[in-house]
Structure 1
Amino acid sequence: MGIRSILSKPFAAYIARETKKWTGSAGAFQDKILKEIVTKARDTQFGKDHGFGEIESYEDFKKQVPIRDYEGLSPYVKKILAGESDVLWSGKPAYFAKTSGTTSGTKYIPITKDSIPNHINSARNALLSYVHETGNGGFLDGKLIFLSGAPTLDQKAGINTGRLSGIVNHHVPGYLRTNQMPSYETNCMEDWEKKVDQIVEETFDQDMTLISGIPPWVQMYFDRLKAKTGKPIKDIFPNFEMFVYGGVNFEPYRAKLFETIGKEIPSIETYPASEGFIAYQDSQKEPGLLLLANSGIFFEFIPADEYFNENPTRLKIDQIELGVNYALILNSNAGLWGYSIGDTVKFINKNPYRLLVTGRIKHFISAFGEHVIGEEVEQAMKATCALFPEVELVEFSVAPNVTPAEGLPLHEWYVEFATPPKDKLGFQKELDLQLRKRNTYYDDLISGSILRPLEVIDLKQNAFIEYMRSIGKLGGQNKVPRLSNDRQIADAMQQFRG
């Protein structure tokens, strides 16, 4: 046992005690955070524009602060980019996290000195929760790798600007930096495929014990390691014992990833975003992610089916119900106010508050009013693959076809298999049945002959990698939407049909 794992255990016990304090009174801690951030931002431009000096309760806050997405907040961000201070938060941001937008192009998300601990400490505490629960900290003694974007930073209005992963890289604790892989020079490479190849060269003969990243890009790294060595990952890295992931639902990748490793290993799911670190898996025994109710963010929740209403219901943590799909809203010490992050979540426990990430508020299919969401397609695929154990899935994306060349409209599932089902028609039929079980509106449309059953469309090997490369989003934190209400991805996938 190394010095890091030895020292981690008393620290993990301390963090566990502190976590227990606020998980037991999450509502009270959330009320405290709301009061603190409103008070601190009272004299900012946003605070003055929205009457922060008159806010004394959550009900007051809802009246003063509307829900908005990045486009709604962008006039204030532009003032910061023009050099102004005290706009959304006191002073100027310490960083801008640069991320891709849809209608807004590049988004610049402020990160302040007050909000940096949310990003750094939350990632640390996710690992320490595991150490405390299991007593296993050996993974801290070997080499660690975080597959992410480049840590290089630019300047915008004198503010350091870059990808969130790059910003966080500059705050990795010193006790971990000495065993962090890859080299800084390699991590700065912008070409993702060349970067992965160089990471393989730097790590294939190292004692890698923790690997972190978005599952599809970790899979690419593993595939190239196998191609170089001819060995499963467990033989290349015999002490590899912790996989940390986030950004996408792991289940569709689980079977192939563990097959590539050669065994199952412990994993920790995290829920970080440029706007804030929201939740992490705090237990290997209980499902769901622990909402971080004491980390500088005041959370609000809007029932997903009300999100596009003119005056949707807004709830704080102690008002939510289990099993309801909510749009997630952030208010934070980074200067985000009534900010719709675009994700949907569902709580499965209240003591403590644990959630599942169910999808994106704008990622759904409702060409005929069925409103199929990400959680439903992912669960349907998982259940179907369980009945066809030979199947190894790489990736998939679903889109409607409203005007097919013949027959009724349908949902098309564009699927890249590592190993396809032996009975494709049977797989397709079961997948349709599983989706019908999960969405009564879709079931009614099939029963009423408004839609015909879904079709699985096979894609060539590396189809999604080629697609992501074609749109300039290969690697890093980028991910393929699992479903969409238009044909943009589906039309692009036609060239990759098997």
Structure 2
Amino acid sequence: MNRILPYTLYPLTLIAAALAYLLTFQLTHLHLLALYSGVSLSAIIIFTAEKFFPLHHEWIPTKEDLITDVFFYSVIVQVAFPFALYFAGINILNFLGFKEGIILDLWPHHFSKITQFFILAISGEFFQYWWHRLCHTYKFLWPIHAPHHFQKKLYSWNTSRFHFFDKFVEFFFTIFIFLSLGLSVEILSYYYLFYAITGYVQHSNLDIKLGWMDYIIASGETHRFHHDSNLSASKCNYANNFVLFDLLFKTFKRIPGEKNPIVGMNSKNTPIGVIEETQYPISHFKDEFFQLILKNIMESVAGEKVKELQRATSDPKTFQNARLFEILQKNQETIFGIEHDFKNIKTVEHFKKNVPIRDYEEHRHYIEMIFKGETKALSALSPHYFTKTSGTTGKPKYIPINMEIQKAYIASQQILSHSLFKKDSKYLSGEIFSVVGNECEEILYDKWPCGSMSGKLYSLAHKSIKAKHVFQKDIATLNDSEKMYFYLAALALLSPNTTFYVSPNPSTLLKIFEVINSKRPELLKLIQDGNDPIVKKHSRKFDHAIELLNLQKDLKVTDVWPNLHILALWMQGSCSYLIPRVKNLIGPKTQLAELGFLCSEFYGTLPVDSDTNKQVPTLLDNYFEFIEKNDYESGNRETLGLNELKLGYEYYIVVTTIGCFYRYFINDIIKVTGFYNQTPTIVFSQKGKGITNITGEKISEKQLVSFFEELNSQEQRIKFFICLADQVNQSYTLYLESDSNLSIEKLEKDLDQHLKNVNIEYASKVSTQRLQPIKIHLLEPGTSELYRTHCIKKGQSEVQFKFLYLQYLSNVDFPFKSHSKK
């Protein structure tokens, strides 16, 4: 049988089915009933043969497979649905006055039945070939046909696995059109009997061989190549019945004796079950429609702003000077403008002469004037809101926000969103996991709300964007940092459809996943109880979250957010130290996006290249000046314009902002990484106060961070460190918190050697004993969280919080020494 069956089964099945057809027709005179009689017999024959002589045992269908194939795809999709379309179409045409559903009676009835059969078969094959090929060629059409390729095995019954949309197209082009031209039901029945039997054979789990007939009829040996799990390799053998058009258009593939390919689809997101399979193209079209709408919105809202920014980068000097004099002209009647004679300033040099460089404390007097009622002390526009951040003197810094500043912030966020869309257009297809601050932490002088700018911008977002945010305002109002992260961890577990994560500091993400993995029992209890108002809104995701928490492994981003497209955060400066740990959490398909240089006082940079994360200063909003790092530290205060910066150099930044600060020294250092047109692309390098100097060694925060980056790459997990310069005792003490078992003696030796290698002045001072070698103390677990909480209570923003890893001991009022391990 194994030798005879491959060559005889197909013709014998055709003969048996034809006899069943003729017998049934003789008894009933109903062509359609006769058709299904012949089709049913052929299905039984092929399926029985598969039972005894399977080609691949792994392709044998399960009971569940057969129930789905027979009762859903065969009975409903292949029989009931076409019947419903047939009778609906006929009745509609009859209603429109077309007798028996014939629009134009052009069918060649006078030809022999065999000739009519081949006319229908070849014409129908032409339509089906191109429809089939287009589905495999165009991404937009693929989801309609994809359900036919979901199964990772081939057997006779899954020839019926077609989506309703796919079946409708087939019905229209191979039934409806020909019936409307006068095709008889008899010829149609002959064709579909042949079509069904060929389909069963094509998909059968049998070693059926047609020999040279492979060049005429679409066989199983050739059709299996079409079901290759490699979708590129599957673009061949589109024929349903006759391979004429595959040969004609060079898509025919026949390699006798070649091992059958792995079939199906390799995607992890392949739908399982008839409901998901049926919804698949609907969901896809909904997503595509959303992407089309989103693209148009992005272009209409931000497209022109992006073009304007790009135009400005071609001539930064001209645009910067124009911006400066526009700011001066608008604010010449303010108290600050009158005091500094804005009205008579005609040149950039005159501006520099009239307005000295100043920090926040030298602006504070004008801020306090606003509080006393002089609302136009700094800007012609009165503030309606204040943000708050920590100050160098212990007093918080209050930043006035007027409508012009707010509008500029919104425009900057729109440009950022446009860039992210260019990076990955699917990044907003799911939920947004963001961490924002409290919009209103206090009311200043019973008049001005004061809080986080991120919270303010969130409140101004369109309701359609807010609806996508997982974050809830209730969390932003929590004063307990530990409690806040606990809820963030719960929401992360309850938002598996997250496609976009945004929060500036990478430590926020790391902390969320640390809580997920360290507080599983508490999270399980919270979610299983389900009554907490913050988690209650996500009740449909409870089972999924519980399943994740019961996994016996540390959860990563790939487990919790499998469809995450973009992670937007800070990647430069001191935050770069944490990026390797972030990369360890995410999968290869998630892209990192740089949020850029921004602070409470102003929005500093905007992306101009979504692929490389390159950012240029906000030259259309603010006026920038720069002082080369070494010049500044040697006492020089001469500033350079944006057009005068050099590649690879570091500069202190001085900025005149859109609405409230003039020649503002923020003590931030940026680095020039390249150029976009004629404008330098910059990144935040470090805080100016990230340099300490006791005896002339000038240790930088970057020098310290580079050591711990290397240490973390060796999987010696350092959770936190801070180095304090003691000017009294002329020594450095480094405190660190770690999960690893570390040899402090070796670590001291290695760090000391590292600093000697990267800082020759440190090496010289230590060798001459003018500076003591660095000492390391191990901190008790949880100290970093206590320090974070301490800093936030003093006024630092939770959302934009950054650890300063190098400071003078005299500037730090947290008792690290008392938290050292004994």
- 2:310 paired residue among 6, 17, 20: 20
Q: Does 1:148 align with 2:436?
A: yes
Q: Does 1:291 align with 2:617?
A: yes
1:457 is paired with a residue whose SS is strand
Q: Does 1:395 align with 2:716?
A: no
Which residue matches 1:236?
560
When structure 1 is superposed on structure 2, of 195-204 and 1-10 the one drifting more is 1-10
How far residue 420 of structure 1 moved from its aligned partner, in angstroms, is: 5.2
1:102 is paired with a residue whose SS is coil
Which residue matches 1:96?
386
- 2:485 paired residue among 189, 196, 204: 196
Which residue matches 2:397?
107
How far residue 147 of structure 1 moved from its aligned partner, in angstroms, is: 1.5
Q: Is the 8 A contact 1:27 1:317 kept in 2?
A: yes
C-alpha distance in structure 2 between counterparts of 1:438 and 1:21, whole Å: 41
- 2:474 paired residue among 165, 170, 185: 185
- 1:174 paired residue among 459, 463, 471: 463
Letter in 2 for 1:223: E
How far residue 310 of structure 1 moved from its aligned partner, in angstroms, is: 6.9
1:465 is paired with a residue whose SS is helix
Q: Is the 8 A contact 1:97 1:167 kept in 2?
A: no
Letter in 2 for 1:168: L
- 2:696 paired residue among 363, 369, 373: 369
Q: Is the 8 A contact 1:364 1:485 kept in 2?
A: no
1:115 is paired with a residue whose SS is helix
1:399 is paired with a residue whose SS is strand
Q: Is the 8 A contact 1:390 1:420 kept in 2?
A: no
Structure 2 CA distance for partners of 1:402 and 1:183, relative to 1, 3 Å:
closer
Q: Is the 8 A contact 1:2 1:138 kept in 2?
A: no
C-alpha distance in structure 2 between counterparts of 1:52 and 1:488, whole Å: 37
**Matching of residues 243-254 of structure 1 within 5 Å:** 243-246=567-570, 249-254=574-579
Structure 2 CA distance for partners of 1:123 and 1:435, relative to 1, 3 Å:
farther
> Structure 1 vs Structure 2: percent identity of aligned residues?
22
Q: Is the 8 A contact 1:366 1:485 kept in 2?
A: no
Which residue matches 2:764?
444
Which residue matches 1:278?
604
Structure 2 CA distance for partners of 1:452 and 1:185, relative to 1, 3 Å:
closer
Letter in 2 for 1:290: V
1:348 is paired with a residue whose SS is strand
Letter in 2 for 1:6: L
**Matching of residues 381-460 of structure 1 within 5 Å:** 381-386=708-713, 389-401=714-726, 409-419=730-740, 425-460=745-780
Which residue matches 1:477?
800
C-alpha distance in structure 2 between counterparts of 1:63 and 1:93, whole Å: 28
**Matching of residues 1-400 of structure 1 within 5 Å:** 1=287, 3-9=289-295, 11=298, 14=303, 16-103=306-393, 105-132=395-422, 134=423, 136-152=424-440, 154-157=442-445, 158-206=447-495, 207-213=497-503, 214-226=505-517, 227-228=519-520, 229=549, 230=551, 231-246=555-570, 249-261=574-586, 265-270=590-595, 271-280=597-606, 282-283=608-609, 285-286=611-612, 289-294=615-620, 296-307=621-632, 312-351=637-676, 352-386=679-713, 389-400=714-725
RMSD of aligned Cα (Å): 2.8
C-alpha distance in structure 2 between counterparts of 1:192 and 1:122, whole Å: 29
Structure 2 CA distance for partners of 1:4 and 1:31, relative to 1, 3 Å:
farther
How far residue 248 of structure 1 moved from its aligned partner, in angstroms, is: 5.8
How far residue 479 of structure 1 moved from its aligned partner, in angstroms, is: 2.7
C-alpha distance in structure 1 between counterparts of 2:641 and 2:703, whole Å: 25
How far residue 325 of structure 1 moved from its aligned partner, in angstroms, is: 2.8
- Per-residue Cα deviation, 1:326-362 (whole angstroms, up to 9, x for no partner): 2211112222111111211121223341223222222
TM-score by length of 2: 0.55
- Per-residue Cα deviation, 1:267-296 (whole angstroms, up to 9, x for no partner): 2222221111102454465475432222x1
C-alpha distance in structure 1 between counterparts of 2:613 and 2:741, whole Å: 29
How far residue 121 of structure 1 moved from its aligned partner, in angstroms, is: 2.4
Letter in 1 for 2:782: N
How far residue 75 of structure 1 moved from its aligned partner, in angstroms, is: 1.2
- Per-residue Cα deviation, 1:366-394 (whole angstroms, up to 9, x for no partner): 011122222332233324544xx222232
Structure 2 CA distance for partners of 1:62 and 1:3, relative to 1, 3 Å:
farther
How far residue 488 of structure 1 moved from its aligned partner, in angstroms, is: 5.3
Q: Does 1:497 align with 2:787?
A: no
Letter in 2 for 1:328: I
What stretches of structure 1 of length at least 5 have no aligned partner?
none
Q: Is the 8 A contact 1:299 1:317 kept in 2?
A: yes
Structure 2 CA distance for partners of 1:414 and 1:301, relative to 1, 3 Å:
same
Structure 2 CA distance for partners of 1:401 and 1:46, relative to 1, 3 Å:
closer
When structure 1 is superposed on structure 2, of 64-73 and 136-145 the one drifting more is 136-145
C-alpha distance in structure 2 between counterparts of 1:413 and 1:252, whole Å: 16
Letter in 1 for 2:657: S
Q: Is the 8 A contact 2:672 2:681 kept in 1?
A: yes
C-alpha distance in structure 1 between counterparts of 2:394 and 2:359, whole Å: 10
- Per-residue Cα deviation, 1:129-180 (whole angstroms, up to 9, x for no partner): 2332x3x121212111221321225433533322222222222233311111
Q: Which protein has greater RCO, CA pairs closer than 8 Å, 6+ apart?
A: 1
How far residue 36 of structure 1 moved from its aligned partner, in angstroms, is: 0.7
How far residue 87 of structure 1 moved from its aligned partner, in angstroms, is: 1.4
How far residue 303 of structure 1 moved from its aligned partner, in angstroms, is: 2.8
C-alpha distance in structure 2 between counterparts of 1:50 and 1:458, whole Å: 52
Letter in 1 for 2:417: L
Q: Is the 8 A contact 2:501 2:568 kept in 1?
A: yes
How far residue 96 of structure 1 moved from its aligned partner, in angstroms, is: 1.2
Letter in 2 for 1:167: K
C-alpha distance in structure 1 between counterparts of 2:614 and 2:494, whole Å: 35
Structure 2 CA distance for partners of 1:440 and 1:175, relative to 1, 3 Å:
farther
How far residue 101 of structure 1 moved from its aligned partner, in angstroms, is: 1.3
How far residue 51 of structure 1 moved from its aligned partner, in angstroms, is: 0.7
1:139 is paired with a residue whose SS is coil
- Per-residue Cα deviation, 1:6-25 (whole angstroms, up to 9, x for no partner): 34445369355443212222
- 2:784 paired residue among 451, 457, 464: 464
When structure 1 is superposed on structure 2, of 192-201 and 258-267 the one drifting more is 258-267
4+ aligned runs moved over 6 Å, structure 1: 308-311
- Per-residue Cα deviation, 1:470-497 (whole angstroms, up to 9, x for no partner): 4536843333211112255497222332
2:574 is paired with a residue whose SS is coil
Letter in 1 for 2:390: S
C-alpha distance in structure 1 between counterparts of 2:586 and 2:579, whole Å: 11
How far residue 46 of structure 1 moved from its aligned partner, in angstroms, is: 0.8
- Per-residue Cα deviation, 1:312-332 (whole angstroms, up to 9, x for no partner): 112221122333332211112
C-alpha distance in structure 1 between counterparts of 2:588 and 2:516, whole Å: 16
Q: Is the 8 A contact 1:383 1:434 kept in 2?
A: no
Structure 2 CA distance for partners of 1:203 and 1:413, relative to 1, 3 Å:
same
Letter in 1 for 2:578: Y
How far residue 85 of structure 1 moved from its aligned partner, in angstroms, is: 3.0
How far residue 109 of structure 1 moved from its aligned partner, in angstroms, is: 0.8
How far residue 309 of structure 1 moved from its aligned partner, in angstroms, is: 7.1
C-alpha distance in structure 1 between counterparts of 2:759 and 2:589, whole Å: 32
1:127 is paired with a residue whose SS is helix
C-alpha distance in structure 2 between counterparts of 1:17 and 1:433, whole Å: 50
C-alpha distance in structure 2 between counterparts of 1:450 and 1:29, whole Å: 50
Which residue matches 1:486?
809
How far residue 197 of structure 1 moved from its aligned partner, in angstroms, is: 2.0
Q: Is the 8 A contact 1:252 1:395 kept in 2?
A: no
C-alpha distance in structure 1 between counterparts of 2:306 and 2:762, whole Å: 44
